[in-house]
Amino acid sequence: PAESDLEAIRVELFDDEVESLSAFDPLTGEVIRKLPRFTFYPKSHYVTPRETLIEAMEGIKVELQERLEYLRTQNKLVEAQRLEQRTRFDLEMMLELGYCNGIENYSRYLSGRPSGAPPPTLFDYLPADALLVIDESHVSVPQVGAMYKGDRSRKETLVEYGFRLPSALDNRPMRFDEWEAISPQTIFVSATPGNYEAEHAGRVVEQVVRPTGLVDPQIEIRPALTQVDDLLSEIHKRTALEERVLVTTLTKRMSEDLTDYLSDHGVRVRYLHSDIDTVERVEIIRDLRLGTFDVLVGINLLREGLDMPEVSLVAILDADKEGFLRSDRSLIQTIGRAARNLNGRAILYADRITGSMERAIGETERRRDKQLAF
């Protein structure tokens, strides 16, 4: 049944009469219990009443006709044929079965919304006095705007080539301005708030002191010219104490070369890159904590939400190259990965001090002073 992964239902028949029902373990086949009766619920629920569905289909037919005329006047005959075939098949499915694959693309008709209206979301169900908490707001808030833009560009291509009707564009995430209009009182939570939060915050509350009593790591700047050899000697110091090291580089190529170099020099090292899926990533981080290896090299993945108390050193290579990977926010986030360890240190390899470095170091020192004073 749809609601359970743990047990399956066996229906035993005598001719066309149900004799008995039993729940059993699908893995072992062992009968768990006999059932006097059982209700099977559908895996997906379509709650649109029949009348609404028929009305919606009429609207879809009208739009289809208009769109086909437009495509033919543009001499897009292949697209017109594709759209007609696909939409008529969907309409047939709706008529016979009450749903079709990709029925969400017709959601504007099914919910009776006008063109361009905001989509229904969970925000519509929040009471007026609700409180919204946005964690890691410096990345979460831009995501809200990005969702709509990403969805829009994909759908426009589908519409242009006759895979979907233009009304499919209304099956979309909220636009940023719609979200702003509907979101209740908000608390933005971030170690490195973005410009949006700074502009919209009524009050800023600082929580600099950690309940664990640990302070932000000490920061050191060393020349970039000898960064790899210097890093190697620092790694040996840390591994002797059974502590772990995170190294962040600028490019995929550099990560791979550095991983090979460290490996050749007897360091137990792994490389975390964007092709690794979430599950594998969690396993790699667990192995680092357990001590299967000592050094983790990455580019932009060693940031928000990685809590590893075993890491006592964060090394940032080429810290003086301006860009989004070395902005003050990125630097503060990366340095913060060493803040879960009593002996946490961050080494920035740079030949000059950029504005981003100055701001990141200044902010970390300011927090560290407060924490130490406390």
Using the structure block, give the residue that is written with the tokens 């969805």.
151
Which positions ≥6 away from 48 have C-beta within 8 Å? 56, 98, 110
- 125 and 180 in one domain? yes
Each residue's pLDDT, cut to its tens digit, for the chain (374 residues) gives 877 888 999 999 998 899 999 999 988 989 999 999 998 877 766 667 888 889 999 999 999 999 999 999 999 999 999 999 999 999 999 888 888 888 889 989 988 889 889 998 899 999 989 999 999 898 899 999 899 999 999 999 999 999 999 999 999 999 999 999 998 999 999 888 888 988 888 888 988 898 888 999 999 999 988 899 999 999 999 999 999 999 999 888 899 999 999 999 999 999 888 788 888 888 988 998 998 999 999 887 666 667 788 999 999 998 888 888 888 888 888 888 888 888 899 999 999 999 999 999 999 999 999 999 99
User: Tell me, what's the pLDDT at 367?
Assistant: 93
Tell me the residue range of the domain where 7 lies. Answer: 1-40
**Are residues 167 and 144 both part of a single domain?**
yes
Residue 1 sits in the same domain as residue 27: yes
In sequence order, the 6+-apart residues with CB closer than 8 A to the CB of 241 are: 312
Q: Could you tell me if 341 and 265 lie in one domain?
A: yes
Residue 211 within any structural domain of the chain: no
- Cα-Cα-Cα-Cα dihedral sign, residues 359, 365, 368, 370: negative
Pair 322, 368 in one domain: yes
Domain count across the chain: 3
So what's the pLDDT on residue 50? 85
Return the pLDDT at 276: 82
Structure confidence at residue 37 (pLDDT): 92
> 210 in a domain, yes or no?
no
Looking at the structure, do residues 32 and 128 belong to the same domain, yes or no? no
Residues 6+ away with beta carbon under 8 Å from 59: 109
Checking DSSP bridges between strand 8-14 and strand 295-298, what pairing results, if any?
Answer: unpaired
Asked whether residue 213 is domain-assigned, the answer is no
Cα–Cα distance, 172 to 195 (Å, whole number): 26
Residue 112 falls within a domain, yes or no? yes
Cα–Cα distance, 324 to 180 (Å, whole number): 26
Pairing between strand 8-14 and 17-24?
A: antiparallel
Please classify residue 323 by burial: count the beta carbons closer than 10 Å to its beta carbon, then call 0-12 exposed, 13-18 middle and 19+ buried.
exposed
Quick one: how many helices (H) and strands (E) in the chain? 11, 11
In a domain, 212, yes or no: no
Residue 208 maps to a domain: no
* Cα dihedral 276, 279, 285, 289 in deg (nearest 10): -150
Is 193 found in the same domain as 59?
yes
Instruction: Please say which residue of 138, 170, 200 terminates a domain.
Output: 200
| Burial of 147 from C-beta contacts in 10 A (0-12 / 13-18 / 19+) | middle
Total-model pTM: 0.72
- Let me know if residue 209 belongs to a domain: no
Residue identified by tokens 């000697």 is 233
Determine the pLDDT at residue 292.
92
- Predicted confidence at residue 326, as pLDDT, reads 83
Do residues 172 and 148 touch, judged by C-beta distance below 8 A?
Answer: yes
pLDDT of residue 49: 83
DSSP structure class, residue 172? -
Same domain (yes/no): 19, 95: no
Question: Given this model, what pLDDT does residue 305 score?
Answer: 66
Whether residue 18 is found in the same domain as residue 144: no
User: Is residue 149 located within the same domain as residue 232?
Assistant: no
Domain of 150: which CATH number? Answer: 3.40.50.300
Upper half-sphere CA count for residue 269 (Cβ side, 13 Å): 24
Same domain, 342 and 318: yes
- Do residues 225 and 347 share a domain? yes
Residue 35 lies in a domain: yes
